[in-house]
Structure 1
């Protein structure tokens, strides 16, 4: 039994029943998202290269922006697929585009977890975190990319191009996996665990510890007046994680629900299935457009936090030197 056809966001071009105007409108929306996302992430890279981002954040932001740009790189093929209602890029194109989708999703989740972990350490153990070298940060980021590639590789190896007859009797080329339903279900469940569930639990734990540290600093003065975490530092990072979840969770639910409840998808009209497929596609690309604004907010508030800490240390040193 073949797995469901909607195993990725891009292998379900608009059916003839959806009409060419619908395909053209979708192509226009996706093109605007791609242009906005590419411009925003290129600006983020330029800002980071110019040194405007604090060094403790620069590497993480560069890797996250690169992941967004790589994800957006497949968008022209998605738009062409929807307008042409056919896949013209061969089996190698299937493997490259599907692999790129899975690679960048997985890498973004792992990189966000690394970034959140480091910010948690910086609040709870600032002196130890300050000693962490840039080389170590880059090594951890490289490990995240390697893990993401290893997780995406099975789908890249198992996908193939085949022709299927659509509702109007026209043959159409599609990208589908070669494995049976059971291993396909297991693999997508694993990817959901490593992309959403696992990082979600880790991030929930980290933010729980940050919230506890913030509450203790405000109510008990445990960290001392100059080491109390600033709430505004956490908010942009929390918004980045929240945006990732809000944009990618519907995509993964759309992949998994037909696998675990086949009857649910079977009762959907064909046109509804097509439009839901492309709605979740638009959400995933919207994340790459939102991220640059959140990265800018994060670097600005983190610079303010560092200035406040330096000012606090300077005030303490002046107090000690004058004997007050």
Structure 2
């Protein structure tokens, strides 16, 4: 089995030496620290976001999905660490299916959610009226679709992985392994790489290229104002989302490269301990993503609230001036704020006001 836990379970099942014990202890301790840090951070994010879930702001729903995915992914660490030290698998056939399925399920749920977030931000910039018209049910349906598609991609692993028992000396060693042939397994992992890295990367990359062009055009058509050199809250939100995406790729791409290299270039002329260390390193790197994310989610939420706050002030300033009957503002109302932006300002400013009351 060549997913997160698989390569490590294979190496963990082999007889150990003093060097291997030191390596296993080091990475086991590191993973345990990641577990405590990641779970604490993501639970904090969930409590913070669920406090305002009834407003169904799309950003908050997406962050809740990401935090749940991170928590489910981190929940596999105790099983991995236990297997590292015991050099055997004690969680049965069902444990194999659940553990390896959670790896793939949460990985896809995370990147699909990030892709949806990028798409929604792109639509909010280019077609704000269409974005505002989307209901709470639509946002929940999108979140459900993300998990459903992720589950469909995971089902083959859930069905085909199996617990194998082999007799070694006087004992029996248990290991989780796929039951399909090498070629079928190679095709499946290649598909998973395409759906979790390549396809989302192309979509997100193209969206941000289009957003970059949109901002460049808007800056060319707008007169330079005082303090215009600072990034706007809207830009900060977009940058933070892209940062989360980049961190995801930085943490998961080495893992996938290592898996694909072993699939397409066998045998590797590397010592057993070297392969074990690489297995552990790429595993720790993927889990580190779930530890870093809560800090990024906090910054994203802060920037998003700043963005909503600024929009609330802009809307209030325009409406107050309009109600006072200022002729210049009345005549330029359609030019200053389009009808789509009026709806956008109103909906997001109301949400911001409710959030501020809660605090």
**Distance in 2 (alpha carbons) for counterparts of 1:131 and 1:216:** 26
1:201 aligns with 202
Aligned length: 313
2:349 aligns with none
Give the number of the structure whose alpha-carbon radius of gyration is greater: 2
TM-superposed CA distance for 1:25, in Å, is: 1.8
1:6 aligns with 2
1:237 lines up with 2:233 in the alignment:
no
Structure 1 residues 35-61: Cα deviation after superposition (integer angstroms, max 9, x where no partner): 111011100011111229982311111
**Distance in 2 (alpha carbons) for counterparts of 1:240 and 1:34:** 19
**Distance in 2 (alpha carbons) for counterparts of 1:254 and 1:163:** 26
Cα RMSD of the aligned pairs, angstroms, is 2.3
Among 270, 290, 293, the residue aligned to 2:292: 290
Among 242, 246, 253, the residue aligned to 2:250: 246
TM-score computed with the length of structure 2 as normaliser: 0.82
SS of alignment partner, residue 262 of structure 1: coil
TM-superposed CA distance for 1:93, in Å, is: 0.9
Among 71, 75, 78, the residue aligned to 1:73: 75
1:176 aligns with 177
2:61 aligns with 59
**Distance in 1 (alpha carbons) for counterparts of 2:211 and 2:162:** 46
TM-superposed CA distance for 1:200, in Å, is: 0.7
Q: Give the alignment of 1:94-243 within 5 angstroms.
A: 94-164=96-166, 172-221=173-222, 230-243=234-247
1:260 lines up with 2:261 in the alignment:
no
**Distance in 1 (alpha carbons) for counterparts of 2:254 and 2:172:** 29
**Distance in 2 (alpha carbons) for counterparts of 1:269 and 1:171:** 25
**Distance in 2 (alpha carbons) for counterparts of 1:280 and 1:201:** 23
TM-superposed CA distance for 1:21, in Å, is: 2.6
Which stretch of structure 1 is more off in the superposition, 98-107 or 169-178? 169-178
Which stretch of structure 1 is more off in the superposition, 310-319 or 245-254? 310-319
Structure 1 residues 59-85: Cα deviation after superposition (integer angstroms, max 9, x where no partner): 111111111111111110001011111
**Distance in 1 (alpha carbons) for counterparts of 2:190 and 2:123:** 31
Which stretch of structure 1 is more off in the superposition, 145-154 or 171-180? 171-180
TM-superposed CA distance for 1:318, in Å, is: 3.9
TM-superposed CA distance for 1:316, in Å, is: 2.9
1:21 aligns with 22
2:346 aligns with none
Among 274, 278, 281, the residue aligned to 1:279: 281
**Distance in 2 (alpha carbons) for counterparts of 1:112 and 1:249:** 16
**Distance in 1 (alpha carbons) for counterparts of 2:46 and 2:265:** 42
SS of alignment partner, residue 19 of structure 1: helix
8 Å Cα contact 1:244-1:287 kept in structure 2: yes
Alpha carbons of structure 1 residues 6 and 274: separation in structure 2 relative to 1, 3 Å:
farther
Structure 1 residues 97-145: Cα deviation after superposition (integer angstroms, max 9, x where no partner): 0011111111111111111111111111222211211211110111111
Q: Give the alignment of 1:303-314 within 5 angstroms.
A: 303-314=305-316
**Distance in 1 (alpha carbons) for counterparts of 2:199 and 2:266:** 25
8 Å Cα contact 1:233-1:298 kept in structure 2: yes
1:44 aligns with 45
TM-superposed CA distance for 1:12, in Å, is: 3.4
